[in-house]
């Protein structure tokens, strides 16, 4: 079989912001005395710059894309966070906001909580969301983007450092609203439902957490501020999790948003192929070739799909085109050999 996956393409498929997700961020239990507590308050309320908050509070994101003055997603469920388990609680809130049955923190505790680390890795939250059939999309590290997502009805799971860079206290929470007149964000955080936090304080703690934010979307739903490479990367994650139907829905939405996307066409065809929908896969590859007639990988994958349907003559034509475009690719050569053999057998039987 010579279906070529989307990750083999030379596409800039990367998480929004261009930086890898941190592999060592987890909440710690920090035992601080009264003096340390005072120091933390000084840091949170100190004079560190807050350029993103300053711009938002001055003009409401941008002049051409204003934000509503107030927003509250009052349908986001709240789960009090047990000690060191803010990761499972935050992800459960995000998943339970989607259509379908509610997900309790206990249901996903073993998926996202690492006892030895006493917390949850960002990558674990993303992987668990995908296993539950949700599209996990990392937003750009920009407060304006975060607020636009909330305004569009998308709660945002965020990571904060509530202490110091040199002595971090990592914490996940869910942003569910904002009030620009008061300069506040509203979060489900810890044991506090609808916690109000000054936007500038939030920015400082969020910046120390890498400005990381995660959307948990139903497949086929686009972020309010979609970025094509980041969205295709999120859809690819569903493929890797074996969530073929969900991946196909995500790629279908991507094609509606970016009709000329070769990555979306390839991903849609591959997901349908893996789900056993060969006619649907062939249709996706053919639609992609209508936009990109010189795409060797689309020709190859269509050839393999046609072979599996017993359409050897058509398969041979596309396999030959793939090899003509990229003669040194072994997988394409393999598909061509299969197509020639199948076409020869058919000619001998006719």
The pTM assigned to this predicted structure is 0.85
Q: What are the tokens at 211?
A: 């400005």
Of the pLDDT bands very low, low, confident and very high (cuts 50, 70, 90), residue 166 is confident
How many CB atoms are closer than 10 A to CB 107?
A: 16
Q: Take residue 48 and report the two structure tokens written for it.
A: 């560190």
Output the pLDDT for position 113: 86
What's the rounded Cα separation, in Å, for the pair 3 and 319?
Answer: 12
Can you give the pLDDT at residue 7?
A: 57
Q: Is 185 helix (H, G, I), strand (E, B) or coil?
A: strand
The boundaries of every CATH 1.25.40.10 domain in the chain are: 242-349
- Span(s) in the chain for CATH 3.90.70.10: 34-217
> Going by CATH, does the domain composed of 34-217 fall within 3.90.70.10?
yes
Q: Residue 47 — pLDDT band, cuts 50, 70, 90?
A: low
By the 8 A CB rule, do 67 and 148 touch?
yes
Which of 147, 149, 139, 134 has the alpha carbon at shortest distance from 96? Answer: 134
Dist. CA 342–CA 213, nearest whole Å: 50
pLDDT score of 29: 36
Q: Give the pLDDT confidence of 205-227 residue by residue, as tens digits.
A: 999 999 999 999 999 999 998 99
CATH topology for the 242-349 domain: 1.25.40
How buried is residue 173: exposed, middle or buried, by Cβ count under 10 Å (0-12/13-18/19+)? buried
What does the block give as tokens for 335?
């598909």
């Amino acid at each position: 079989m010579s279906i070529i996956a989307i990750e083999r393409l030379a596409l800039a498929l990367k998480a929004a912001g261009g930086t890898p997700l941190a592999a060592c961020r987890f909440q710690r239990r920090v035992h601080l005395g009264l003096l340390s507590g005072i120091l933390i308050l000084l840091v949170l309320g100190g004079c560190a710059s807050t350029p993103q908050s300053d711009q938002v509070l001055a003009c409401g994101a941008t002049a051409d894309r204003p934000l509503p003055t107030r927003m509250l997603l009052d349908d986001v469920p709240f789960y009090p966070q047990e000690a060191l388990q803010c990761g499972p609680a935050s992800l459960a809130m995000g998943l339970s906001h989607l259509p379908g049955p509610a997900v309790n923190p206990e249901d996903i505790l073993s998926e996202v909580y690492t006892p030895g680390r006493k917390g949850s890795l960002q990558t674990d939250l993303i992987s668990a969301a995908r296993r539950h059939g949700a599209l996990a999309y990392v937003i750009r590290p920009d407060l304006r983007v975060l607020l636009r997502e909330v305004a569009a009805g998308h709660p945002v799971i965020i990571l904060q450092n509530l202490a110091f860079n040199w002595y971090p206290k990592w914490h996940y929470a869910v942003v569910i609203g904002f009030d620009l007149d008061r300069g506040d964000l509203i979060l489900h955080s810890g044991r506090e439902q609808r916690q109000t936090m000054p936007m500038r304080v939030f920015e400082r703690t969020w910046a120390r957490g890498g400005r990381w934010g995660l959307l948990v979307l139903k497949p086929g739903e686009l972020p309010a501020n979609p970025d094509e490479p980041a969205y295709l990367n999120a859809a690819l994650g569903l493929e890797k999790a074996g969530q073929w139907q969900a991946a196909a829905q995500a790629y279908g939405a991507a094609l509606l948003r970016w009709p000329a996307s070769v990555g979306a066409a390839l991903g849609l065809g591959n997901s349908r192929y893996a789900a056993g929908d060969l006619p649907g896969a062939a249709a996706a590859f053919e639609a992609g070739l209508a936009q990109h007639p010189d795409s060797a990988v689309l020709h190859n994958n269509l050839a393999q799909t046609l072979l599996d349907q017993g359409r050897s003559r058509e398969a041979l034509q596309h396999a030959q085109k793939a090899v003509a475009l990229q003669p040194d690719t072994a997988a394409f050569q393999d598909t061509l050999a299969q197509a020639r053999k199948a076409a020869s057998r058919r000619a001998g039987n006719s």
